[in-house]
């Protein structure tokens, strides 16, 4: 059982928007603005997509956005493209210098 809870799957059609949630507690997601999101294609290393809840690294399309409300962080992918089909993982800093991962969400672009 992962420390952060993500839905196992999400889906959308090309051009649509989809939001993936990441639920923790007041000791991690809710207590710090250190949530990051990673995209992983099969057989590849994960890639950083969002950091500090809503910041985008250089080179990541602005179709990807992050937010947080209470103990739940969210990743929204707008204008879905076929290449967005991948596994997405959230992470959060937690008390006592721990780092937690979510279980991952498989995003399908139908």
Partner 1 sequence: QVQLQESGPGLVKPSETLSLTCDVSGYSISSGYFWGYIRQPPGKGLEWIGIGYRNGDTYYNPSLRSRATISVDTSSNQYSLRLSSVTAADTAVYFCVRYTYYLDSSGPRGRYFDYWGQGTLVTVSS
Q: In the complex, which residues of this chain contact partner 1 (CB under 8 A)?
A: 2, 32, 34, 36, 38, 45-48, 51-52, 57, 89, 91, 93, 96-104
Q: Which is nearer to partner 1, 2 or 19 (CB)?
A: 2
Closest separation in Å from C-beta 85 to partner 1: 17
Closest approach, Cβ 68 to partner 1, in A, equals 14
- By beta-carbon proximity to partner 1, the closer residue of 95 and 110 is 95
Distance of CA 51 to the CA centre of its chain: 10
């Amino acid at each position: 059982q992962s420390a952060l809870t993500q839905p196992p799957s999400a889906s959308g059609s090309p051009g649509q928007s989809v939001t993936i949630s990441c639920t923790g507690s007041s000791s991690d997601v809710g207590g710090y603005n250190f949530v990051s999101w990673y995209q992983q294609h099969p057989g590849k290393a994960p890639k950083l997509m969002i950091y500090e809840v809503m910041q985008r690294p250089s080179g990541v399309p602005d179709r990807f956005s992050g937010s947080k409300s209470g103990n739940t962080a969210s990743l929204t992918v707008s204008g879905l493209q076929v290449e967005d089909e991948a596994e997405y993982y959230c992470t959060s800093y937690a008390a006592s210098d721990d780092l937690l991962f979510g279980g991952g969400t498989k995003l399908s672009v139908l």
